[in-house]
Structure 1
Amino acid sequence: MVKDDMENRTGKTYVEFKAVKYRSQVVAGENYLTKVHMGGSSYLHLKVFQYLSCNGGKISKCDVQEDHRKEDPLVSF
Protein backbone atom coordinates (compact mmCIF):
# COMPACT_ATOMS: atom_id res chain seq x y z
CA MET A 1 0.00 0.00 0.00
CA VAL A 2 2.88 2.39 0.61
CA LYS A 3 5.40 1.34 -2.08
CA ASP A 4 4.62 4.21 -4.49
CA ASP A 5 4.82 6.78 -1.71
CA MET A 6 8.17 5.42 -0.51
CA GLU A 7 9.58 5.43 -4.06
CA ASN A 8 8.56 9.08 -4.36
CA ARG A 9 10.05 9.98 -0.99
CA THR A 10 13.37 8.20 -1.57
CA GLY A 11 13.65 8.88 -5.31
CA LYS A 12 14.31 5.19 -5.97
CA THR A 13 12.44 2.41 -7.78
CA TYR A 14 12.16 -0.88 -5.90
CA VAL A 15 11.95 -4.14 -7.83
CA GLU A 16 11.16 -5.97 -4.60
CA PHE A 17 9.21 -4.42 -1.72
CA LYS A 18 8.20 -7.06 0.82
CA ALA A 19 7.38 -6.53 4.49
CA VAL A 20 9.33 -9.13 6.48
CA LYS A 21 8.70 -7.99 10.05
CA TYR A 22 6.47 -5.51 11.80
CA ARG A 23 5.36 -4.23 15.19
CA SER A 24 2.16 -2.38 15.93
CA GLN A 25 0.82 -0.13 18.66
CA VAL A 26 -2.84 0.77 19.13
CA VAL A 27 -3.41 4.45 19.88
CA ALA A 28 -6.15 6.64 18.32
CA GLY A 29 -5.53 4.37 15.34
CA GLU A 30 -2.61 2.02 14.84
CA ASN A 31 1.10 2.74 14.47
CA TYR A 32 3.07 0.23 12.42
CA LEU A 33 6.83 -0.09 12.42
CA THR A 34 7.79 -2.30 9.47
CA LYS A 35 11.01 -3.77 8.07
CA VAL A 36 10.80 -3.98 4.25
CA HIS A 37 13.13 -6.07 2.08
CA MET A 38 14.00 -4.36 -1.21
CA GLY A 39 16.17 -7.11 -2.69
CA GLY A 40 19.74 -8.15 -2.06
CA SER A 41 20.88 -6.92 1.33
CA SER A 42 18.79 -3.71 1.27
CA TYR A 43 16.08 -2.98 3.82
CA LEU A 44 13.92 0.01 4.76
CA HIS A 45 12.32 0.71 8.09
CA LEU A 46 8.90 2.38 7.75
CA LYS A 47 6.75 4.07 10.34
CA VAL A 48 3.10 4.24 9.22
CA PHE A 49 -0.09 5.37 10.99
CA GLN A 50 -3.55 4.04 10.12
CA TYR A 51 -6.66 5.78 11.40
CA LEU A 52 -9.38 3.72 13.08
CA SER A 53 -12.00 2.31 10.70
CA CYS A 54 -14.65 4.55 12.33
CA ASN A 55 -12.48 7.48 11.19
CA GLY A 56 -12.13 6.18 7.63
CA GLY A 57 -9.20 3.79 8.11
CA LYS A 58 -6.96 6.06 6.02
CA ILE A 59 -3.25 5.27 6.00
CA SER A 60 -0.89 8.12 6.75
CA LYS A 61 2.75 7.58 5.83
CA CYS A 62 4.92 8.96 8.59
CA ASP A 63 8.59 8.31 8.09
CA VAL A 64 11.20 6.12 6.40
CA GLN A 65 14.77 5.14 7.22
CA GLU A 66 16.98 3.78 4.44
CA ASP A 67 20.21 1.75 4.46
CA HIS A 68 19.21 -0.93 6.94
CA ARG A 69 20.32 -4.57 6.93
CA LYS A 70 18.46 -7.77 7.75
CA GLU A 71 20.01 -8.05 11.20
CA ASP A 72 19.26 -4.44 12.23
CA PRO A 73 16.76 -4.31 15.10
CA LEU A 74 13.33 -2.86 14.37
CA VAL A 75 13.22 0.05 16.83
CA SER A 76 11.06 3.15 16.92
CA PHE A 77 12.47 6.30 15.32
Structure 2
Amino acid sequence: MLRLSDKYTQSLLAQPETGMGYQVADVTLKAGLKFRGVTIVNAEYVTAVQGCKGIPFTEPEIDKIVVTHEKLTP
Protein backbone atom coordinates (compact mmCIF):
# COMPACT_ATOMS: atom_id res chain seq x y z
CA MET A 1 0.00 0.00 0.00
CA LEU A 2 1.22 3.49 -0.87
CA ARG A 3 0.00 6.54 1.02
CA LEU A 4 -0.36 9.65 -1.12
CA SER A 5 0.43 13.14 0.17
CA ASP A 6 -1.82 16.19 0.00
CA LYS A 7 -0.26 16.94 -3.38
CA TYR A 8 -2.56 14.25 -4.82
CA THR A 9 -5.28 13.74 -2.21
CA GLN A 10 -6.80 17.21 -2.60
CA SER A 11 -7.23 16.68 -6.34
CA LEU A 12 -8.62 13.17 -5.85
CA LEU A 13 -11.12 14.37 -3.23
CA ALA A 14 -12.49 16.86 -5.76
CA GLN A 15 -13.31 14.06 -8.22
CA PRO A 16 -16.18 11.55 -8.08
CA GLU A 17 -15.67 8.09 -6.65
CA THR A 18 -15.77 5.03 -8.90
CA GLY A 19 -17.53 3.15 -6.10
CA MET A 20 -18.09 3.65 -2.41
CA GLY A 21 -14.79 4.91 -1.00
CA TYR A 22 -12.55 4.19 -3.98
CA GLN A 23 -11.44 5.47 -7.37
CA VAL A 24 -9.88 3.70 -10.33
CA ALA A 25 -7.19 5.72 -12.07
CA ASP A 26 -4.29 5.70 -14.50
CA VAL A 27 -0.93 6.67 -13.01
CA THR A 28 1.78 8.02 -15.29
CA LEU A 29 5.34 8.12 -14.01
CA LYS A 30 7.90 10.84 -14.76
CA ALA A 31 9.85 8.21 -16.71
CA GLY A 32 6.85 7.82 -19.04
CA LEU A 33 5.61 4.44 -17.82
CA LYS A 34 1.81 4.28 -17.42
CA PHE A 35 -0.12 1.99 -15.07
CA ARG A 36 -3.82 1.45 -15.77
CA GLY A 37 -6.35 0.12 -13.32
CA VAL A 38 -4.85 1.63 -10.18
CA THR A 39 -7.17 1.41 -7.17
CA ILE A 40 -7.06 4.37 -4.79
CA VAL A 41 -8.99 4.12 -1.51
CA ASN A 42 -10.33 7.18 0.33
CA ALA A 43 -8.40 9.43 -2.10
CA GLU A 44 -5.28 8.62 -0.09
CA TYR A 45 -4.07 5.02 -0.44
CA VAL A 46 -2.96 3.21 -3.59
CA THR A 47 -3.96 -0.32 -2.69
CA ALA A 48 -3.62 -2.24 -5.97
CA VAL A 49 -2.31 -1.96 -9.51
CA GLN A 50 -3.99 -4.24 -12.01
CA GLY A 51 -1.60 -6.89 -13.30
CA CYS A 52 1.06 -6.18 -10.65
CA LYS A 53 2.02 -7.72 -7.36
CA GLY A 54 2.40 -4.89 -4.91
CA ILE A 55 2.74 -1.24 -5.86
CA PRO A 56 5.53 -0.92 -8.47
CA PHE A 57 6.19 2.79 -7.95
CA THR A 58 6.74 5.40 -5.23
CA GLU A 59 5.09 8.80 -4.93
CA PRO A 60 8.17 10.78 -6.04
CA GLU A 61 8.08 8.83 -9.34
CA ILE A 62 4.49 9.90 -10.12
CA ASP A 63 3.93 12.55 -12.78
CA LYS A 64 0.12 12.50 -12.83
CA ILE A 65 -2.94 10.60 -11.67
CA VAL A 66 -6.06 10.59 -13.84
CA VAL A 67 -9.28 9.09 -12.48
CA THR A 68 -10.81 6.92 -15.22
CA HIS A 69 -13.46 4.80 -13.46
CA GLU A 70 -12.46 1.88 -15.71
CA LYS A 71 -13.90 -1.48 -14.80
CA LEU A 72 -11.23 -3.79 -13.44
CA THR A 73 -10.88 -7.30 -14.77
CA PRO A 74 -10.07 -10.18 -12.44
- Does TM, scored on the shorter chain, surpass 0.5? no
Greater relative contact order (CA < 8 Å, ≥ 6 in sequence): 2
* TM-score, reference length from structure 2: 0.32
Q: Which has the larger radius of gyration?
A: 1
